[in-house]
Amino acid sequence: GTARLSRAEPRAGDGRSEEEEEEEVKEEGCYQLYPGHIPTSPLQKALLAAGSAAMALYDPYRHDMVAVLGETTGCLALPNLRDKMKHHPEGYRILQERPRIRLSTLDMARLRGLPDGTLGREYVRFLEDNKVSPDTRMPPKFVDDEELAYVIQRYREVHDLMHTLLGMPTNMLGEVVVKWFEAVQTGLPMCVLGAVFGPVRLSARKLQVLATELVPWAVRSGRNASCILNVYYEQRWEQPVESLREEIGIFPPP
């Protein structure tokens, strides 16, 4: 038989959570909590965190590494986010209903038909202008809690909506700004690292704009805004972007 190291899998920092939905099986291999889940030991997570961070810096096109970094370092931030969602009526509903943002679930034609300035119209415009699709988000693999796996999935799928609400394109500069906003909002170490190290590859001129205008605005907005995961975007396509910004607390982009 295979010689596996047995280890007591620590529940990701949520001693307070009463909802232990899953049976805690201590054998690796029988431990898949959701499709795509790969159970990992603490040592493996540490190695993954270090490796993915290094690889993401070395090759910024390795989006999968950014995703892995987020999963392996999110053990404090994710339960935090989940609790914020649980204690908010809209967030709670999202956790119950588990909506997914995917091309198959979105009615693109309808959204395109909405008036200019509405969330739906601007979101589709953003996707088309930047030639991105919500389907390219990586599903989580290394999060050892099924609900937290959904939380990080939701965070990833909502990322494009963040771009829309903040009015930022998908170039390096735009991504860094969104990362600053997300870092303040979520506290995910991956966002913090991305926000701090992302600018390394920017030109001096862009760095200046970043430092003087964009980052302060992003940080102020992030602080002022309510939790962005608590917004049921799928039910707000008709809402004008400006009104949604006001409601959440995001300041108008410079």
Partner 1 sequence: VYQVFESVAKKYDVMNDSMTLGIHRVWKDILVHKMNPSPGTLLLDVAGGTGDIAFRFINYVRSVRERQLQRKLRHHQNLSWQEIAESYQEDKSKSLGDSQVVVCDINKEMLKVGKQKAQYLGYSEGLSWVLGNAEELPFDDDKFDVYTIAFGIRNVTRIDLALQEAYRVLKPGGRFLCLEFSQVSNSLLSRLYDLYSFQVIPVLGEVIAGDWKSYQYLVESIRRFPPQEEFKAMIEDAGFFKVDYQNLNSGIVAIHSGFKL
CA atoms of 186 and 183, how far apart (whole Å): 5
CA atoms of 9 and 55, how far apart (whole Å): 26
Q: Which of 166, 184, 187 is nearest to 175 (CA)?
A: 166
Interface of this chain with partner 1, residues 22 to 61, rule: CB under 8 A:
38, 41, 43-44, 47-48, 51-52, 54-55
Residue 62 within binding range of partner 1, rule CB under 8 A: yes
Residue 247 within binding range of partner 1, rule CB under 8 A: no
DSSP three-state, residue 82 = helix
Tokens representing residue 18 in the block: 């009463």
Query: How many residues are there in the chain?
Result: 254
Shortest approach of partner 1 to residue 32 CB, angstroms? 12
Considering the complex, state which of residue 48 and residue 225 has its C-beta at the smaller distance from partner 1.
Answer: 48
Considering the complex, state which of residue 55 and residue 132 has its C-beta at the smaller distance from partner 1.
Answer: 55
Shortest approach of partner 1 to residue 172 CB, angstroms? 22
Stretch that binds partner 1, among 64-72, 160-168, 174-182, 184-192 (CB under 8 A): 64-72
Residue 197 within binding range of partner 1, rule CB under 8 A: no
Cβ–Cβ < 8 Å for 225, 190: no
Considering the complex, state which of residue 67 and residue 165 has its C-beta at the smaller distance from partner 1.
Answer: 67
Stretch that binds partner 1, among 1-9, 16-24, 152-160, 206-214 (CB under 8 A): 1-9
Shortest approach of partner 1 to residue 81 CB, angstroms? 24
Interface of this chain with partner 1, residues 132 to 191, rule: CB under 8 A:
141
Tokens representing residue 219 in the block: 């940080």
At residue 68's C-alpha, the angle toward residues 42 and 11, to 5°, is: 40
Q: Which of 74, 84, 47 is nearest to 193 (CA)?
A: 74
DSSP three-state, residue 121 = helix
Considering the complex, state which of residue 141 and residue 179 has its C-beta at the smaller distance from partner 1.
Answer: 141
Tokens representing residue 150 in the block: 């959904």
At residue 134's C-alpha, the angle toward residues 120 and 221, to 5°, is: 65
Considering the complex, state which of residue 189 and residue 222 has its C-beta at the smaller distance from partner 1.
Answer: 189
CA atoms of 43 and 230, how far apart (whole Å): 33
Where on the chain is the footprint of partner 1 (CB under 8 A)?
2-5, 38, 41, 43-44, 47-48, 51-52, 54-55, 62, 64-65, 68, 141
